[in-house]
Amino acid sequence: MARWRWRALILLIYVVIGIYIAWVYDYITAGLLRDLAEALLAVFLWFLVLLGIDLHIG
pLDDT digits (tens, 9 = 90+) for 4-42: 899 999 999 999 999 999 999 999 999 999 999 999 999
- Cα 31 to Cα 43: distance, rounded to the nearest angstrom: 18
Tell me the whole-structure pTM to 2 decimals.
0.67
pLDDT confidence of residue 57: 83
Q: What is the pLDDT of residue 21?
A: 96
Instruction: Show Cβ contacts of residue 22 under 8 Å, excluding neighbours closer than 6 positions.
Output: 28
Q: Is the pLDDT of residue 58 over 80?
A: no
Cα separation, 27 vs 18, whole angstroms: 11
Burial of 41 (0-12, 13-18, 19+ CB in 10 A): middle
pLDDT mean over 38-53: 91
Number of other CB atoms surrounding residue 12 within 10 Å: 10
